[in-house]
Amino acid sequence: MNKYVGVLGGLLLSILGGGSYYVEGLSSSSITMGTGNSFGRVFRISTWGESHGGGVGVTLDGCPPRIPLTRDEIQIDLDRRRPGQSRITTPRNEADAVEILSGVSEGITTGTPIAMLVRNKDQRSSDYLDNDMKVAYRPSHADATYDAKYGVRAIAGGGRSSARETI
């Protein structure tokens, strides 16, 4: 079965299965499906964002209601891994201040998905945009692996393979 669909529809139908679909402007060999950014079934963790975008975040789905959870408890662990604290980490000084966007009310989980965001404030994407960075992979980084796996270069900070994703 071969159907003509738009780009988003083609990608969604490819994920869901059910035949082959023609995506305008793309050959089937040019579409590389990622391994996903979500893990788990009953308790599901989905990560999102990029090191040189607006921020990075997580959505936790399946957390029962009435569990104590505060921003301060999470912030303690984030402060332990925060960059800019030693000579072997990035010199960028990110506060890594977590915001709980949903799923927690008055320090108690509500049973709905919990979304948390850490905004990027000290990213310098222009540091990565010179011509050498566009053609060479950085040593000891995941640039080559990311390119081989997804078929795109995430030049500014390594995209989803950035250490910033450990938040």
**pLDDT, tens only, 89-103:** 666 666 789 999 999
In the predicted structure, residue 119 carries a pLDDT above the cut 60: yes
The average pLDDT across 1-21 equals: 46
Could you tell me the pLDDT band of residue 73, with boundaries at 50, 70 and 90? very high
> Which pTM does this prediction carry?
0.62
**Between 75 and 135, residue with greater pLDDT:** 75
Contacts of 40 (CB under 8 A, 6+ apart): 62
Sequence-distant (≥ 6) Cβ neighbours of residue 116 within 8 angstroms: 57, 58, 59, 60, 74, 98, 99, 100, 101
Bin 121: left if φ > 0, else alpha if -120 < ψ < 50, else beta: alpha
Q: How confident is the model at residue 8 (pLDDT cuts 50, 70, 90)?
A: very low
For residues 51 and 156, what is the distance between their CA atoms, to the nearest angstrom?
A: 8
How large a percentage of the chain has pLDDT more than 70? 53
Query: How far is residue 62's CA from residue 40's CA, in Å, rounded to a whole number?
Result: 10
What's the gap between Cα 158 and its chain centre?
11
Choice between 115 and 156, residue whose per-residue pLDDT is larger: 115
Gap between the Cα atoms of 107 and 134, Å rounded: 45
